[in-house]
Amino acid sequence: MAKQSKLSGVASLTAFGQAVRATRLDKEISQETLADLASIDRSYMGGIERGEHNLSLFNIQRIATALEISITELMRKANL
Residue 31 within a domain? yes
Whether 28 and 39 have beta carbons less than 8 Å apart is answered as no
Distance spanning both ends of the chain, measured CA to CA: 32
- Three-state DSSP string of 11-69: HHHHHHHHHHHHHHHHCCCCHHHHHHHHCCCHHHHHHHHCCCCCCCHHHHHHHHHHCCC
Which residues form the domain of 39? Answer: 11-77
| Residue 31 identity (one-letter amino acid) | Q
**Is residue 2 pLDDT above 60, yes or no?**
no
Split at pLDDT 50, 70, 90, the class of 7 is low
1: confidence class by pLDDT, cuts 50, 70, 90: very low
In a domain, 47, yes or no: yes
pLDDT digits (tens, 9 = 90+) for 21-57: 999 999 999 999 999 999 999 999 999 999 999 999 9
Q: What is the predicted pLDDT for the residue at 8?
A: 59
Asked whether residue 3 is domain-assigned, the answer is no
State how many domains the chain has.
1
CATH number for the domain spanning 44: value is 1.10.260.40
